[in-house]
Amino acid sequence: MIDYLANDRHALYVVSAYGATAAILAWLVWSTLAANARARRDMQDAEQRRRKG
Amino acid sequence: MSIWRYANPAEFMRLTDRLVVPLWAAAAALMAVGLYWSLALTPDDYQQGSTVKILFIHVPAAMLAINTYAVMAVASGVGLIRRHHVSFLVAKAAAPVGAAFTAIALITGAVWGQPMWGTWWVWDARLTAVLIMFFFYLGYMALWAAIEEPEKAADLSGVLCLVGVVFAFLSRYAVNFWATLHQGASLSMAEGQRVDDVFRTPLYIMIAAFYVLFVAILVVRARTEIRARRARSLRLQEARA
């Protein structure tokens, strides 16, 4: 990997493209799971309140 | 058994409950194999050098950018015609995913274009159509966020989505209509012109990985929208009582 980065003249382009893709996909997956957990909690709270009330 | 029973939120949740974990696992496995094959096992191209490796993420992202819009358009059309809430929610759930894949396609395309074409960007028919489609994704999400009444937001954003179909169509077919700097479809070309097998196999694996990841994210986001809608409806009932 270090050899590749040091010796390939296009290495920076390839690493930038994969880095940007990894960052966007990581944000997409994280935001998806976080929003899902929040929605699940909200729905459970609302259902609990309804059962109690 | 009718497909419309899955328009019932409870039925959709029940069906997808069993799919979520296998979908994440399949996406992770395919992505791991695809990345290893693409980065470690494929040689450099004789003309493109190592930048050919960028195409293993650019091509699947570009395919999904267009096909996610098609999914949104079909879901919006079904929602507008048959008044199924789940259809609208699926379209809403798909928008950020499509926008993310479009952003990846635009960024990786620009990063590949600089060393290969000598420029980050040209106002080429396909590139411009994809950029406009990206703005339609953003506009669609902004419209959903701007309108408080969900029924009205669903209808108006559904109409906006259908208007943007022309740019999704142009994103796909611009290379067939005009002589553009962007190359034509590499995967469907005749034998002898298309991508060599040494690149094609890892490319197919990466395409599969991106598609499975897309379905996994879409399913979880659709479930999130259904839960949020249910919580909102329960809160409204509580407020009225």
Structure tokens at B16: 């997808």
Query: How do residues B108-146 score in pLDDT, each as one tens digit?
Result: 999 999 999 999 999 988 899 999 999 999 999 999 999
| CB-closest option in B57, B108, B220 to A32 | B220
Cα distance from B236 to chain A (closest Cα, Å)?
A: 10
- Extents of the domains making up chain A: 22-53
Chain B closest-CA separation from residue A13 CA (Å): 6
Which stretches of chain B are DSSP H helices? 9-17, 20-36, 55-82, 85-117, 125-146, 150-163, 165-177, 197-240
Minimal-distance CA residue of chain A relative to B48: A10
List Cβ neighbours of B6 (8 Å cut-off, separation of 6 or more).
Answer: B12, B15, B86
What ipTM, to 2 d.p.? 0.90
Residue range B149-160, pLDDT digits in tens: 888 999 999 999
B-chain CB neighbours of A11 within 8 Å are 50
| Contact partners, residue B95, CB within 8 Å, separation at least 6 | B72, B137, B140, B141, B144
Minimum CA–CA partner of A4 in chain B:
B50
Statement: residue B6 has pLDDT above 70:
no
For the CA atoms of B26, B130, B105, B169, the dihedral, rounded to the nearest 10 degrees, stands at 30
From chain A, pick out residues whose CB is under 8 angstroms from the CB of B228.
39, 42-43
Contact B127, B62 (CB under 8 A): no
Q: What are phi and psi of B154, to 5 degrees?
A: -65, -45
Nearest to A17 among B54, B221, B231 (CB): B54
